[in-house]
Structure 1
Amino acid sequence: MSQIDPYVLVLYYSSHGTTNVLAYAIAQGIEDAGMTARIRTVPTVAAETTASKAAIPDEGDLYCTMDDLKNCAGLALGSPTHFGNMAAPMKYFWDNTVTLWLAGNLQNKPASVFTATGSMHGGQETTLLTMMLPLMHHGMMIVGLPYGEAALNRTRRGGTPYGASHVSGAAHDQPITDDERELAIAQGHRLAITAQALSQANWKR
């Protein structure tokens, strides 16, 4: 890891704003645990890719760079559910991380995932599970949400042991509940605590 202040990267893509809200709640939990949260997003992609997005967006969070990812102490990865999987812009981003994979830059770092859907059975859990796959190929360690979090038993619109989630409704007009916010904050806190512990571990064999 480079000689910069350690941070946990909160990397997300949001179509209608809900995943963005979850990302900032997770960032709050990271900061509450005493670590810096670096929030980044990814640009949209289109079938025709003859033009590229500007390096800095006109508004909103900055786009994630490979250095942002390479140098993080931990990662929270979020995407809305698109047919039971992560959205294409996020998948495209990860398809271009081969250089980091070859160098092993993310190995032994903790990661967690979060998502939002428009419908109750829109594929939250499959999205969370499939988002874990590239992270595991990179050698990251997955951090979930334990049932010791009381809100995980109370929540009615989202929240899973695989990661924070929310059902925003077909019109995407349902705000996250107090339970969902509590779970997202708890997830960020747990991820940061894990990142702190793993960063001090000796991985020599």
Structure 2
Amino acid sequence: MKPVLILYYSRHGSTKRLANAIAQGVTSVDVPVMVRTVNASDGQASDDAPVVTSKELTECSALALGSPTRFGNMAAPLKSFLDSTSDLWLKGALIDKPACVFTSSTSMHGGQESTLLSMMLPLLHHGMVMCGVPYSEPELHNTTTGGSPYGVTHVAHASFDNQHQLSEDEKNLCLAQGKRLAQFAKKLAQ
């Protein structure tokens, strides 16, 4: 089984925490995972995770794509990376691969859902199959922190010191999303 690619950009650590929790969900169903980041466009160090290659994106069995919310949209470094994938689009290299999206913001009303929806657009253009979070996950009904049927989210509460951890609801939704994505990848690999 080819690995699931968890690809994200994180400036203050919140999106990275989501990525790592989704990765735990993927590995819980015995599917290999690779966690990668993109180069930062503003000179800031993007993260300590390896930077993704085009080959890794092409060869993955599924993709989880994450970004912090920037004015209701994905961060520029992730958008820049996606803009560089036209060659994969021309080849149809990502058609029929399952994908999901995730985001974090400093407030509950910081544009999480619009960010998730905008992140889906290039993936749909690539022909990927979107995998959301179904309402059978009880946390979607009960969360007072992050969570959405469009993808998992985290509310960081303006915590730029990397100390605001995922809530139990957010972590459980990440595990469920990773597990669901990996299960789709397994079924499509058969």
Q: What range describes the TM-score normalised by the shorter chain of this pair?
A: over 0.9
TM-score w.r.t. the length of structure 1 is: 0.88
Gaps of 5+ in 2: none
| Equivalent position of 2:182 in the other structure | 192
State the secondary structure of the residue aligned to 1:119: coil
Indicate yes or no: 2:61 matched with 1:73: yes
Q: Which stretches of structure 1, 4 residues or more, deviate above 2 A after TM superposition?
A: 171-174
| Equivalent position of 1:107 in the other structure | 95
Query: What is the deviation of 1:174?
Result: 2.9
Structure 1 residues 4-15: aligned runs within 5 Å: 5-15=1-11
| Equivalent position of 2:33 in the other structure | 37
Indicate yes or no: 2:73 matched with 1:85: yes
Structure 2: distance between partners of 1:59 and 1:93:
15
State the secondary structure of the residue aligned to 1:116: strand
Residue-pair matches, total: 188
Q: In the TM superposition, what whole-angstrom CA distance separates every residue of 1:35-77 from its partner, at most 9, and x where no partner exists?
A: 001000001103xxxxx99xxx896100000001000100000
Match 1:155 to one of 143, 165, 176: 143
Match 1:177 to one of 167, 179, 182: 167
Q: In the TM superposition, what whole-angstrom CA distance separates every residue of 1:88-127 from its partner, at most 9, and x where no partner exists?
A: 0000000000111100010000000000001111000000
Indicate yes or no: 2:24 matched with 1:21: no
State the secondary structure of the residue aligned to 2:188: helix
Q: In the TM superposition, what whole-angstrom CA distance separates every residue of 1:144-163 from its partner, at most 9, and x where no partner exists?
A: 00010011111111000001
Counterpart contact for 2:39–2:46, Cα < 8 Å: no
Q: For the structure 1 residues 152 and 58, does the alpha-carbon distance in structure 2 shift closer, same or farther, using more than 3 Å as the test?
A: closer
Structure 1: distance between partners of 2:137 and 2:46:
38
Counterpart contact for 2:10–2:47, Cα < 8 Å: no
Q: Which has the larger radius of gyration?
A: 1
State the secondary structure of the residue aligned to 2:68: strand
Match 1:125 to one of 95, 107, 113: 113
Structure 1: distance between partners of 2:16 and 2:86:
26
Aligned-residue Cα RMSD (Å) equals 1.6
Amino acid at match of 2:176: A
Counterpart contact for 2:38–2:46, Cα < 8 Å: no
